Chains A and B, each alone.
Chain A
Amino acid sequence: MPRIRDRSIFPAAICLIFAFAAAPAAAQEYQGDLDPAPHDFSNRDDVVGAGMVSATLSGTTLTITGNFTGLSSPATSAHLKMGMAMGVPGATIGELNATHAAKGEISGSVKLNSAQIAALRKGALYIQLDSAKGTDGNSWAWLENGERPRA
């Protein structure tokens, strides 16, 4: 292995190390698939569609973007919600924007408190997209950062 001769590289390397160490606190990325919300056979054709959402936590602000397509009726609203654990539905903690169409985008920012940030980190936050036919939820997307949490 070649030896490093230029000593001026060390301060830069230290800066880089600090930068990487600080990076997770600066911005954390999450994503999730938009899948049909809970349903039974009788309304399975009402809650179709697919999509994807991404979320970035910067400080205490969670910024969400996403897209959806293939709904059987126009989207009407979107919400950020918090459950007890991943896969467990809960209450709305923020409102988001959604294109009022069968295909469109989701966007918005929500300021989170410490409990909500903790819930985000354990996978308990999700986006719910409502539609004209899926009034109690057309689609859900659980926000994950790559690690599978448990209850």
Chain B
Amino acid sequence: MTPMRFFATSVAALFLFLVLGRAQGQQRNPGVFAPEQINVGQREYLENCAGCHGNTLAGANDSPALAGTGFMQSWGNRSTKALYQFISTSMPVGNEGNLSAGAYADITAFLLSANGATPGDRVLTGETDVRIASVANGQVPTDIQKGLEPAREAARRPAPASRHGLTVAGTVPNYVPVSDQMLLHPADGDWLMYRRNYQGWSYSPLAEIKAGNVGGLQLKWSWAMNEGGASEVTPIVHDGVMFLSNTSNTVQALNARTGELIWENRIGPDATVAYSGTRSLALYQDKVYVATTDAKLYALDARTGKAVWHVEIAPPPKGETGGVMVIHGKVLVGMMGCDNYSTVNCHISAYDAETGKQDWIFYTTARQGTPGGDTWNGLPDTQRAGTDTWIAGTYDPDLNTTYWGVAQAKPWMRASRKTYGASVLYSNATLALDPDTGKLKWYYQHIQGESLDLDEVFERVLIDHGTEKSLMTIGKDGVLWKLDRANGKFLGAKETLFQNVFNKIDPKTGEVTYRPDIVNQKTNEWVASCPGPEGGHDWQATSYNQPADLLIIPLSQSCVLMKGHDVDMKLGGGGTAASELFYFMPGTHRNMGKLVAYNTKDMTEAWSFQQHAPFLTAVLSTGGGVAFIGDFDRVFKAVDVRSGKILWRTRLGNTVQGYPVSFSVDGKQYIAVTTGLGGGSPEQKPTTLLPEVHRSGTGQQLYVFALPDAG
């Protein structure tokens, strides 16, 4: 090194020392909270916040990171008083504002500590008002990076403490094993799988309940379900027995006519996350299959509820909520919880129904060196997050192909995840897989490089018109897609509600052109999206009524401003990484709910109506020409399939949420539906936008309706 270079280097080092030293000095402002507030606040955090934001404060789903780069970008220039006010008025979700002032102050102190702030000699209160970046630097303590020990009692509606395992012993009398033929051709009175048939129709051929008599429906029995977590369940019914999945990974068998409990297995773990719930079970031969929220697959004896085997689908913190399906003696299961950077990428996997031995695995994240692996802008596999499969697939036995939707990549915004214009396979795609081998037959990516949490992950509905074998699906953007399911060829797209995200959808290929500011987005800038992450369409599934050839679709109408954060590009980092503000969709007169029916052949609208409250159940339609649906404001209603005319309505105990089903016992038709709480955007957006809708903090319940008994 020359003397001149040595001198220049020394001056630069001195300058950096002084500047950094000054910056450090700024961060060492006198502590604004007392040391004892850290531990108390951590305990409060674990009990009230960790269920959504996680034990590393990394965030998940709609819950942003509360430590590290993303938090500092969102909150660094705001005050401790603003943070206290925010959490004390809006948290915890479902129990907003109901902790003590001291608890909120302690949580605020803990969050500052979790971002590198040091304690002092004064107690933080709601009046403490300093700029967060002046006391915190986003440096997350090691113990938090590793993950805090979970609290036993957590979440806003804690599940009742109970032992795990077989908690009620009993035997289903005269149980008839479920064969492959039964799955292919279910008995009219059964509901054997998530959408009732392999084609994903949510259609029951039962026709006792019709437009002319639906007004006479009566409540026959009801069943209180577990509280806590998110209840979005599909009751499964076989031969007069209902298999019911509750939150906390609890499975029950009930007499479907009387509501009498036969057996109960509380598999656990108990619900600690406002999102965790199992949408569906599967039945095959003499076993009930449940994919648990901690990403394990259990086989229970359908007669007794006893666990026969279980396997791990993926290590924590992965999860599963979408449900399972059985094809040719293989149990197929998706995965979610892939928000944060991890050594395990999201996948679909298959297991031998008898033994639990893994048969195959298909990564929904295209990894380096595999087909499509070059679509992630060169990111290493450990920084390829998202592509969850949180809805069970469908199946065409003639083509021997199973169809799955894949969610968006994470973080939500391309600027945050640094993939920019890259397509990021297989996010927002339809996958066609060989169910025997897991081999990819074809894929169609609906949205390349999706950037606003607008998943295309939902049900793939298989519909035939003569020789045309189509697949229809609709995502959060509200675009209804039609593909040739033999080869993935694009057949058509229809906008079912107002959207301002795409300037163009190519009528020949379906390729979308984003609005320019979405393409050019930067972190820490607001981007508008109509519809927003509530959808459009969300997990509340469609029903295909074959007699009327109508696809009946629940839609929601709201918009968001979304601001993506920079994220820590390391294991455990990432997350959804965005802030959101909500607003009504222009021109809707604050009608968040929309129900619309489309003729599936030509994709023309047959009828639609709007209402104030969004729909929080799937649609069930029947051979009687009646469709059932429930909403956020506790109303469960029946409409005429062909006209949309409302035929009957009743008010239940809480938000009608889940997947209604129809079944028969001894020739009598029943309609079953659940009320439920918890969940992501479909609950959060109306909770914010519709303050006039008041709901109880509990009330997860099953209701079973039927016509009056003759005589």
- Determine if A6 is an interface residue (Cβ-Cβ < 8 Å): no
Distance of B416 from chain A, by nearest CB (Å): 19
Surface stretch bound by B, among A19-27, A59-67, A104-112, A140-148: A140-148
- Taking each of A32, A35, A123, which has the highest tally of chain B beta carbons within 10 Å of its own beta carbon? A35
A-chain residues with CB within 8 Å of residue B582 when the two chains form the complex: 38-40
Q: Tell me whether A32 and B586 are in contact in the complex, defined as CB-CB below 8 angstroms, given that A38-B560, A42-B89 are known contacts.
A: yes
Interface string of B494-517 (1 = CB under 8 A from A): 010011111100000000000111
- Determine if A88 is an interface residue (Cβ-Cβ < 8 Å): yes
- Determine if B583 is an interface residue (Cβ-Cβ < 8 Å): yes
Nearest B residue to A90 by beta-carbon distance?
Answer: B528
Q: Tell me whether A150 and B688 are in contact in the complex, defined as CB-CB below 8 angstroms, given that A39-B582, A86-B586 are known contacts.
A: no
B587 close to A142 (CB less than 8 A): yes
B528 close to A87 (CB less than 8 A): yes
Nearest B residue to A83 by beta-carbon distance?
Answer: B528
Q: Tell me whether A88 and B560 are in contact in the complex, defined as CB-CB below 8 angstroms, given that A40-B90, A40-B580, A123-B586 are known contacts.
A: no
Give complex CA distance A142, B500 in Å: 13
B96 close to A36 (CB less than 8 A): no
A-chain residues with CB within 8 Å of residue B498 when the two chains form the complex: 86-87, 148, 150
A35 close to B584 (CB less than 8 A): yes
- Determine if B647 is an interface residue (Cβ-Cβ < 8 Å): no
Give complex CA distance A44, B687 in Å: 10
Give complex CA distance A144, B587 in Å: 8
B515 close to A88 (CB less than 8 A): yes
Q: Which of A39, A83, A151 contacts B583 (CB 8 A)?
A: A39
- Determine if A49 is an interface residue (Cβ-Cβ < 8 Å): no
Distance of A120 from chain B, by nearest CB (Å): 14
A-chain residues with CB within 8 Å of residue B28 when the two chains form the complex: none
Interface string of A36-65 (1 = CB under 8 A from B): 111111111100100000000000000000
Give complex CA distance A140, B561 in Å: 14
- Determine if B12 is an interface residue (Cβ-Cβ < 8 Å): no
Nearest B residue to A137 by beta-carbon distance?
Answer: B583
Interface string of B71-100 (1 = CB under 8 A from A): 000000000000001100110010010000
- Determine if A94 is an interface residue (Cβ-Cβ < 8 Å): no
Nearest B residue to A140 by beta-carbon distance?
Answer: B583
- Determine if B530 is an interface residue (Cβ-Cβ < 8 Å): yes
B-chain residues with CB within 8 Å of residue A41 when the two chains form the complex: 89-90, 93, 96, 684, 687-688
- Determine if B581 is an interface residue (Cβ-Cβ < 8 Å): yes
A-chain residues with CB within 8 Å of residue B555 when the two chains form the complex: none
Give complex CA distance A87, B691 in Å: 22
Nearest A residue to B526 by beta-carbon distance?
Answer: A89
- Determine if B474 is an interface residue (Cβ-Cβ < 8 Å): no
- Determine if B132 is an interface residue (Cβ-Cβ < 8 Å): no
- Determine if A84 is an interface residue (Cβ-Cβ < 8 Å): yes
A44 close to B688 (CB less than 8 A): yes
B515 close to A84 (CB less than 8 A): yes
Give complex CA distance A123, B498 in Å: 12
Q: Which of A84, A144, A151 contacts B586 (CB 8 A)?
A: A144
Nearest B residue to A88 by beta-carbon distance?
Answer: B528
A151 close to B503 (CB less than 8 A): yes
Give complex CA distance A30, B586 in Å: 13
A-chain residues with CB within 8 Å of residue B96 when the two chains form the complex: 41
A42 close to B500 (CB less than 8 A): no
A150 close to B499 (CB less than 8 A): yes
B-chain residues with CB within 8 Å of residue A35 when the two chains form the complex: 583-584, 586, 590
Give complex CA distance A87, B586 in Å: 6
Within 8 A of A (CB), among B220-248: none
A89 close to B689 (CB less than 8 A): no
Within 8 A of A (CB), among B677-697: 684, 687-689, 691
B-chain residues with CB within 8 Å of residue A40 when the two chains form the complex: 90, 580-582, 688
Q: Tell me whether A150 and B500 are in contact in the complex, defined as CB-CB below 8 angstroms, given that A38-B561, A88-B515 are known contacts.
A: yes
Q: Which of B86, B499, B687, B688 contacts A151 (CB 8 A)?
A: B499
A-chain residues with CB within 8 Å of residue B85 when the two chains form the complex: 42
- Determine if A130 is an interface residue (Cβ-Cβ < 8 Å): no
- Determine if A85 is an interface residue (Cβ-Cβ < 8 Å): yes
Nearest A residue to B498 by beta-carbon distance?
Answer: A148
Distance of B452 from chain A, by nearest CB (Å): 12
Nearest B residue to A42 by beta-carbon distance?
Answer: B90
- Determine if B465 is an interface residue (Cβ-Cβ < 8 Å): no
B586 close to A36 (CB less than 8 A): no
A-chain residues with CB within 8 Å of residue B687 when the two chains form the complex: 41
Nearest A residue to B585 by beta-carbon distance?
Answer: A87
A-chain residues with CB within 8 Å of residue B689 when the two chains form the complex: 36, 44
Q: Tell me whether A89 and B587 are in contact in the complex, defined as CB-CB below 8 angstroms, given that A41-B89, A41-B687, A41-B688 are known contacts.
A: no
Give complex CA distance A82, B684 in Å: 29
- Determine if B589 is an interface residue (Cβ-Cβ < 8 Å): yes
A86 close to B590 (CB less than 8 A): no
- Determine if B559 is an interface residue (Cβ-Cβ < 8 Å): yes
A151 close to B501 (CB less than 8 A): yes
Within 8 A of A (CB), among B500-543: 500-503, 515-517, 526, 528, 530
Within 8 A of A (CB), among B647-689: 684, 687-689
A85 close to B500 (CB less than 8 A): yes
Distance of B692 from chain A, by nearest CB (Å): 10
Within 8 A of A (CB), among B585-603: 585-587, 589-590
Interface string of B687-710 (1 = CB under 8 A from A): 111010000000000000000000
Distance of B506 from chain A, by nearest CB (Å): 14
A39 close to B586 (CB less than 8 A): no
- Taking each of A36, A42, A84, which has the highest tally of chain B beta carbons within 10 Å of its own beta carbon? A42
Q: Which of B517, B526, B560 contacts A84 (CB 8 A)?
A: B517
A-chain residues with CB within 8 Å of residue B516 when the two chains form the complex: 84
Nearest B residue to A123 by beta-carbon distance?
Answer: B586
Q: Which of A45, A86, A151 contacts B691 (CB 8 A)?
A: A45
B583 close to A38 (CB less than 8 A): yes
Distance of A40 from chain B, by nearest CB (Å): 6
Give complex CA distance A42, B688 in Å: 9
Interface string of B246-269 (1 = CB under 8 A from A): 000000000000000000000000
A-chain residues with CB within 8 Å of residue B89 when the two chains form the complex: 41-43
Nearest A residue to B502 by beta-carbon distance?
Answer: A151
A-chain residues with CB within 8 Å of residue B561 when the two chains form the complex: 38, 89
Distance of B527 from chain A, by nearest CB (Å): 9
Q: Which of A36, A42, A48, A148 contacts B587 (CB 8 A)?
A: A148
A-chain residues with CB within 8 Å of residue B590 when the two chains form the complex: 33, 35
- Taking each of A88, A89, A151, which has the highest tally of chain B beta carbons within 10 Å of its own beta carbon? A151
- Taking each of B85, B503, B688, which has the highest tally of chain A beta carbons within 10 Å of its own beta carbon? B688
B-chain residues with CB within 8 Å of residue A42 when the two chains form the complex: 85-86, 89-90
Q: Tell me whether A89 and B90 are in contact in the complex, defined as CB-CB below 8 angstroms, given that A33-B589, A140-B583, A151-B499 are known contacts.
A: no
Q: Tell me whether A142 and B90 are in contact in the complex, defined as CB-CB below 8 angstroms, given that A36-B689, A40-B581 are known contacts.
A: no
Distance of A115 from chain B, by nearest CB (Å): 16
B-chain residues with CB within 8 Å of residue A32 when the two chains form the complex: 586-587
Give complex CA distance A84, B516 in Å: 9
Give complex CA distance A148, B498 in Å: 7
Closest 9 CB pairs of A and B: A38-B581, A41-B90, A142-B586, A42-B90, A151-B500, A87-B530, A88-B528, A38-B583, A35-B584
Q: Can you give 13 contacting A-B residue pairs, CB < 8 Å?
A: A33-B587, A33-B590, A35-B584, A36-B584, A39-B582, A40-B581, A42-B89, A84-B516, A87-B500, A89-B526, A150-B498, A151-B501, A151-B515
With A41-B688, A87-B528 given, name 10 new contacts (CB 8 A): A36-B689, A39-B581, A39-B582, A41-B93, A42-B90, A44-B689, A84-B516, A84-B517, A86-B498, A150-B499
Q: Which residues of A contact B (CB under 8 A)?
A: 32-33, 35-45, 48, 83-89, 123, 126, 140, 142, 144, 148, 150-151
